[in-house]
Amino acid sequence: MQPIPKLNPEYVTNVKGHKRAVILPIEEYTELLEDLQDLAVIAERREEPSLSHNKVMEDLKKNGYLSD
């Protein structure tokens, strides 16, 4: 399991000091969007059957992506 990345947010507050919005560095924002996309793909595909490592290797060799 990957560690949760440390974020460096800045907060926009209202006059009472309540947090209303977050500002993130663009790199962190982009990484979060990529992570969300990955999670969405995982959720969509979770009912698909899995393949064994040996089967994947066999298929890659058969299709010329790996040499024997």
pTM to 2 decimals? Answer: 0.61
User: If you average pLDDT over every residue of the chain, what do you get?
Assistant: 92
Sequence-distant (≥ 6) Cβ neighbours of residue 3 within 8 angstroms: none
pLDDT, one tens digit per residue, over 34-59 is 999 999 999 999 999 999 999 999 99
The Cα 5–Cα 32 span in angstroms is 9
Residue 2's pLDDT is 60
Confidence of residue 4 (pLDDT cuts 50, 70, 90): low
Sequence-distant (≥ 6) Cβ neighbours of residue 26 within 8 angstroms: none
Give the sign of the dihedral formed by CA 10, CA 24, CA 43, CA 56: negative
Confidence of residue 7 (pLDDT cuts 50, 70, 90): confident
Residue 3's pLDDT is 63
Residues forming a β-bridge with 22: 11
User: How many residues are listed for the chain in this entry?
Assistant: 68
Structure tokens at 46: 């979770």
